[in-house]
Amino acid sequence: MINKDTLKKVEDRLYKYYRQLKWIDKLEYVCRELEEQKGKIRKDITETNISLEEESISIAYEERVQNSYSCSSYAENEVIRQINNLEKEWKYVRNKLLKKKAKIRELEREVAPLKYNIDMLTEESKKFIEWKYAECKSTDWISIQLYGGVRSTAYRRHEEIIKDIAQ
């Protein structure tokens, strides 16, 4: 027989464990998207895939004279500015990606001990734990699925599984 405090602590930890696993999946998805964005930005930079305003690339035949102390034209300056913006965006995406990957590693370190305990359980116990804590199914529902509706068996198995994890 396990005391109520220990039962409550282990159950809270199991709920947190499955929330963290979902959070890891979400962060991994975001990382894949950021990797894709980073690749697209890098491709735009290497291929100089930018657009200039129409008036900056066409020759105007009017009386306007433009004095410039630099040896570069407006179009050249605009190309440089847009490439710099792309490089800033690439650095921003890279930094976001690094932070997300660090968070994933931190969460994986937190879930490792409990993951080890759960991996040591039988397949039936793993299924029970996953239904109960990941999918938030009731013990009565689980008793119907696993034990043919025998509630006492389900509640006894639940306590045994929690005891195994706690040890």
Q: DSSP letter string over 8-22?
A: HHHHHHHHHHHHHHH
In a domain, 149, yes or no: yes
Cβ neighbours around 23 below 10 Å, total: 14
pLDDT at site 59: 53
107 lies in the same domain as 130: no
47 lies in the same domain as 9: yes
Residue 123: what residue type? E
In a domain, 81, yes or no: yes
The average pLDDT across 70-74 equals 71
84 lies in the same domain as 135: no
**Which tens digits make up the pLDDT trace of 99-146?**
999 999 999 999 999 999 999 999 999 999 999 999 999 999 999 998
77 lies in the same domain as 99: yes
> Which domain, by its residues, includes 53?
1-58+71-119
**Which tens digits make up the pLDDT trace of 146-167?**
888 889 999 999 999 999 898 8
**Which tens digits make up the pLDDT trace of 83-94?**
899 899 999 999
Q: How many C-alpha atoms does 77 have within 13 Å on its Cβ side? A: 8
Residues near 97 by Cβ (< 8 Å), separated by ≥ 6?
A: 31, 34, 35, 38
pLDDT at site 53: 65
Domain count of the fold of the chain? 2
In a domain, 128, yes or no: yes
99 lies in the same domain as 31: yes
The span from the first CA to the last CA of the chain, in angstroms, equals: 13
What rounded mean pLDDT belongs to the chain?
Answer: 87
Residue 6: what residue type? T
